[in-house]
Structure 1
Amino acid sequence: MSDSGWSATSWGDIATLKYGKSLRDYKEGRGQTEVFGTNGPVGWTDSGPLAIGPRPIVGRKGAYRGVHLARGPFWVIDTAYWLKPGPALDPTWAYYKLLTLDINGMDSGSAIPSLAKAQFEGVPLDLPPMREQRRIAYVLSAFDELIETNRRIAEAALEVGRASFSQLAARSLDLAKLSDVTTKIGSGATPRGGKDVYQEEGTSFIRSQNVYDGQFSYDGLARISDGAADALSGVAVLSGDVLVNITGESVARTALVPNRALPARVSQHVAIIRADAAVLDYRFLMLALLSAPIKGHLNGLSTAGATRRALTKAHLGETRIPMPPLAEQRRVSRVLEAIGELGDELADLTRTRDELLPLLMSGQVRVSEDVAVA
């Protein structure tokens, strides 16, 4: 044990990485049990849970393997693991510690990028005493609770917008193909060198993990150099662009790019849809893509005849959306202005938490013993 009271151990000595299990009946919306995959939440099920949170979720398969925290009853599908802590490990502290690891740099060498259980369990770990773990988790959780509150308010504003869209769409007889009312539909690309070119500062590189329905997540937002960004100039993101996930478990998730994230490029798993401002309001476009009929249509296309869910440029371009007069579109979408303001607050909170995270987890900054935790 060091002078700081922290002890040297390994993940395998204090926790067990458990495999997820396949599940077919999960769905969008709410249910009794939240379902997680390699990129995070993928839906809900009314089936019983694998376990009760808080428990960290660790991605197992895919080029991007995320770390998330299940706070209540949860299920993990077979593309991810969940971490069962031993008595010396606080599960919420473990989640924050996992965020400091390069999970995607741990690769089994198989054809599909994946995390090997044995490799992970051998990773060394400096472990604080339990009470200090809980104090650290308390401080970081306070930031995440503020972030979550802002997200819930943004979700409420989004629901108002979706309801208003549905009412307007019910009265609108005019439909238009997206290819006729947009100036760009196209997916991104991977920078030369892949994740090895990611850096602390630079142009945003938006991946599917950043795109949620109606919300942009700054968690894990990658940055690339000016040179790498110039090489991807053809997939530059502009203010007002709508982003749609087009592959994998999160297919059809849709959000607006926030101005705070610009300049930006997108990965091959995300499509840019750019509204023709003369006929289509970009916020109305997002509401259209989030509406139940159109989202259901896109989800259906993504599974047709494919082993992996995917949407193509043709799928998106042929999709039809209601086209009321532009003034009516703007009236309906005005409520989404509040989401943009909340997004700025979320960006500030997320940045502060991310700057504090490695300092706390390394012991460079210590939480006062006066902080009361259970």
Structure 2
Amino acid sequence: MNSNEWMKYSLGEICSFISGTAFPRESQNSLNGTIPFIKVSDLNTNGNERWIDYANNYISESEAKKLRAKIHPPFATTFAKIGIALTFNRRRLLRKKTIVDNNMASAVPNKTILDSIFLYYLLLTIDFNKISSGTALPYVNLSDLERIPVDIPPLSTQRRIAEILSALDDKIELNRQTNATLEAIAQAIFKEWFVDFNFPGATGEMVESELGMIPKGWRVGKLGDFGEIVCGKTPSKTNENFFGGNIPFIKIPDMHNSVFIVETSDTLTHEGALSQKNKFLPPNSIIVSCIATIGLVSLTAEKSQTNQQINAIVPFRDILTHYAYFTAKNLKDQLMELGSGGSATLNVNTSSFSNIKCVIPSDYVLSSFEFLVKPLFEGILANQQEILSIAKCRDELLPKLMNGEIDV
């Protein structure tokens, strides 16, 4: 790093922070406008991992004027500034002019000093947990952000740094898109065969069942017929030796937007996992969230355990794996209905989960389906593992590029 080329600033000297706009309930849930109105939940939407490309709410120009909404320009970096969401340190780039709600804010660079993409990566190096106030409801004051000191290289260096990091994120994004396509192909085959009943060898001969008309030779069973049903459990938290090992301990937040679980926020030691050894799940177990957030479905990538909010299906036979996976994904409405049961918190117990009725095709059709889709899922897993590797590389490079330790 050439110290003569890097300049010291406060963030407020090189970018401006724009707060969000209150989003009246009566203006929400519309897709008819031209201006995205994003909420904190949009930061988690699949496809919005770096750029905001999808929004669940849009409003018109006239409605924006009526609300006196602040317009956030393209290439601004947006983030949560209040609530538990800020602790996750998520930053997103805006693709087009956007309005954000009042739990969020955006940073807009002074383009004579600061590159927009460089600013995005710069903000990723700042841990909001260290500057937030409040306990029950954490928040960040924009004035505190403005005072943060930063070292900034010349624009040409900023752009080279941004190009290096963007190339890694581009590859991650490509892998995600490829995985979405691979799963969509498998989903389309599932629908063609098991919903439309247009499968190899189909004769069109149907028989009555308690779930409606099904092909002759198929039967009605229950989820418990697919495999052993295992409800997860959390080892005693009073024993610190149970946590921090290399055995994945899966919780519901680990499941969002993940076909396979390749990374978890918590892990168990060998000792911790052995304290509940009947809770081990082998690779390719189907896991389903059944408490509070209901209906998320993923596959285990390696030997794992889960907490008590997750029920798992450990397939009796390999030919059942991906049929059971898509069957579980199609049960969300039924799981929600089962889980409501008059309780404030949605909860599907293991017995109810195991006894959910479903159609079980013939072994020939199941084997044919598994033969077709298994390579697709192997590709998804390989891509997810590569994403994890690239992300770790990016995260190691990020602070070194941002402090000039690596010369570009």
Larger Rg belongs to? 2
Q: Distance in 1 between matches of 2:81 and 2:341?
A: 26
Task: Identify if the C-alpha distance between structure 1 residues 138 and 206 changes in structure 2 by more than 3 Å, giving closer, same or farther.
Answer: farther
Q: Distance in 2 between matches of 1:169 and 1:141?
A: 41
1:215 equivalent in structure 2: 259
Any gaps of 5 or more consecutive residues in structure 1? 368-374
User: In structure 2, what residue type is equivalent to 1:313?
Assistant: N
Measured after TM superposition, the shift of residue 129 of structure 1 is 3.5
Query: Which of the numbers 311, 325, 349 marks the counterpart of 1:313?
Result: 349
Matches within 5 A, 1:153-172: 153-170=178-195, 171=197, 172=214
1:18 equivalent in structure 2: 19
1:282 has 2:321 as partner: yes
Query: Which of the numbers 90, 102, 109 marks the counterpart of 1:67?
Result: 90
- Provide Cα deviations, 1:309-336, integer angstroms capped at 9, x if missing partner: x554356445444322344234323232
1:178 equivalent in structure 2: 223
Secondary structure of the structure 2 residue equivalent to 1:37: helix
Residue pair 1:67, 1:95 contacting (<8 A) in 2 also: no
My pick for the range that moved more, 158-167 or 344-353, is: 344-353
Q: Distance in 1 between matches of 2:385 and 2:343?
A: 38
Measured after TM superposition, the shift of residue 274 of structure 1 is 2.3
Measured after TM superposition, the shift of residue 256 of structure 1 is 1.8
1:56 equivalent in structure 2: 78
Secondary structure of the structure 2 residue equivalent to 1:45: coil
User: In structure 2, what residue type is equivalent to 1:290?
Assistant: K
2:407 equivalent in structure 1: 366
User: In structure 1, what residue type is equivalent to 2:349?
Assistant: K
| Percent pairwise identity | 17
Query: What TM-score do the two structures reach when normalised by structure 1?
Result: 0.71
User: In structure 1, what residue type is equivalent to 2:407?
Assistant: R
Query: Which of the numbers 316, 326, 338 marks the counterpart of 2:379?
Result: 338
My pick for the range that moved more, 315-324 or 12-21, is: 12-21
Secondary structure of the structure 1 residue equivalent to 2:405: coil
Query: What TM-score do the two structures reach when normalised by structure 2?
Result: 0.66
Secondary structure of the structure 1 residue equivalent to 2:228: strand
1:350 equivalent in structure 2: 391
Q: Distance in 1 between matches of 2:393 and 2:325?
A: 29
- Provide Cα deviations, 1:279-320, integer angstroms capped at 9, x if missing partner: 8722222222333xx234445667786777x55435644544
Task: Identify if the C-alpha distance between structure 1 residues 52 and 14 changes in structure 2 by more than 3 Å, giving closer, same or farther.
Answer: closer
Q: Distance in 2 between matches of 1:120 and 1:187?
A: 42
1:242 equivalent in structure 2: 286
Residue pair 1:60, 1:115 contacting (<8 A) in 2 also: yes
Q: Distance in 2 between matches of 1:339 and 1:9?
A: 43
Q: Distance in 1 between matches of 2:367 and 2:100?
A: 40
Residue pair 2:250, 2:305 contacting (<8 A) in 1 also: yes
1:40 has 2:44 as partner: yes
Q: Distance in 2 between matches of 1:243 and 1:26?
A: 33
Q: Distance in 2 between matches of 1:47 and 1:191?
A: 46
Measured after TM superposition, the shift of residue 158 of structure 1 is 0.6
1:324 has 2:361 as partner: yes
Residue pair 1:198, 1:222 contacting (<8 A) in 2 also: no
Residue pair 2:261, 2:301 contacting (<8 A) in 1 also: no
Query: Which of the numbers 332, 345, 349 marks the counterpart of 1:295?
Result: 332
Measured after TM superposition, the shift of residue 160 of structure 1 is 1.2
CA RMSD of aligned residues (A): 4.5
Query: Which of the numbers 165, 168, 191 marks the counterpart of 1:140?
Result: 165
Matches within 5 A, 1:198-213: 202-213=246-257
Task: Identify if the C-alpha distance between structure 1 residues 192 and 283 changes in structure 2 by more than 3 Å, giving closer, same or farther.
Answer: same
Any gaps of 5 or more consecutive residues in structure 2? 47-53, 61-70, 198-213
Residue pair 1:56, 1:92 contacting (<8 A) in 2 also: no
Task: Identify if the C-alpha distance between structure 1 residues 213 and 140 changes in structure 2 by more than 3 Å, giving closer, same or farther.
Answer: same
